[in-house]
């Protein structure tokens, strides 16, 4: 998932981002409501972790603005306010869930998994393409039973391909979806990661065309042999 954290406490934001990146998410951080709005307009996020008390534009106002502008991102509000009234206000503003500070990172991860299951898209528990399998819950990847050990970015790229198995993915689309703003790179970076990913897949026994190059367009998963 591509996640935006809107949190003015740098210490909390950094800890959340580090934990989420370990779970193979791409994460951006905004330190106030206006910056959060600008991030949300510049990229498409799957999930926004939104603090309630923010400088420049508070979390409730930002949530309303996002929904008024047809944002489909899941919104999980993070706040120290735990009254029923505060929760109702947040949910009525368009939030999908509400988590009270302080909280354990394990609970946050569970909430995110629960929210992802609410989306209209039916997501299989294990992603497969022929002999290739990726389990998002355990982050384990195998080809014909042989384990693959990928870098975090290679993992994200492969998962993105498996979730869009019928599509041709351009380098620009891969960059926008899987790279964070402060680590944004050129399209040559995508080519390098694809090359390394192909090499690891071949080592595990996959055919050369498991990830195909579509000339002048991008990449797609190759046809699966029966």
Domains 2-116 and 127-221 share a fold: no
- With a CB cutoff of 8 Å and minimum separation 6, the contacts of 219 are 161, 168, 169, 171, 174, 194, 211, 212, 213
Structural domain boundaries of the chain? Answer: 2-116, 127-221
pLDDT at residue number 121: 53
pLDDT at residue number 120: 52
CATH code at 2-116: 3.40.50.2300
Phi, psi of 205, rounded to the nearest 5 degrees: 115, 5
Transcribe 170-215 into DSSP letters. Answer: EHHHHHHHHS-GGG---HHHHHHHHHHHHHHHHHTT--TTSEEEET
CATH code at 127-221: 1.10.10.10
Q: What is the mean pLDDT of each run of 10 residues along the chain (226 residues)?
A: 94 94 92 96 93 94 94 91 80 91 91 77 74 89 94 92 91 87 74 94 92 92 76
Q: Give the separation between CA 116 and CA 92, rounded to whole angstroms.
A: 20
Q: Are 15 and 1 in contact (CB under 8 A)?
A: no
* Short-list 74, 6, 69, 39, CA closest to 176: 39
pLDDT at residue number 122: 47
pLDDT at residue number 206: 93
- What 8-state DSSP symbol labels residue 58? -
Q: Are 133 and 151 in contact (CB under 8 A)?
A: no
Q: What is the pTM of this model?
A: 0.75
């Amino acid at each position: 998932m591509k996640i935006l954290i809107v949190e003015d406490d740098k210490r909390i934001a950094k800890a959340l981002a580090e934990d989420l990146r370990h779970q193979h998410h791409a994460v951006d951080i905004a330190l106030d409501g206006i910056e959060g709005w600008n991030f949300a307009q510049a990229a498409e996020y799957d999930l926004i972790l939104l603090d309630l008390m923010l400088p420049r534009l508070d979390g409730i106002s930002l949530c309303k603005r996002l929904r008024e502008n047809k944002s489909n991102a899941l919104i999980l509000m993070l706040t120290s306010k735990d009254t029923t009234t505060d929760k109702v206000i947040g949910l009525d503003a368009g939030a999908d869930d509400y988590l009270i500070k302080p909280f354990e990172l394990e609970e946050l991860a569970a909430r995110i998994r629960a929210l992802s299951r609410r989306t209209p898209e039916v997501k299989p528990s294990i992603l497969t393409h022929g002999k290739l399998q990726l389990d998002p819950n355990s982050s384990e990847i195998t080809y014909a039973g042989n384990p693959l050990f990928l870098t975090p970015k290679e993992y994200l790229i492969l998962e993105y391909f498996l979730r869009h198995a019928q599509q041709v993915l351009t380098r620009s689309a891969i960059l926008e979806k899987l790279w964070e703003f402060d680590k944004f790179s050129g399209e040559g970076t995508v080519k390098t990661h694809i090359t390394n990913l192909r090499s690891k897949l071949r080592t595990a026994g996959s055919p050369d065309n498991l990830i195909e190059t579509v000339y002048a367009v991008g990449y797609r998963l190759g046809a699966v042999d029966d």
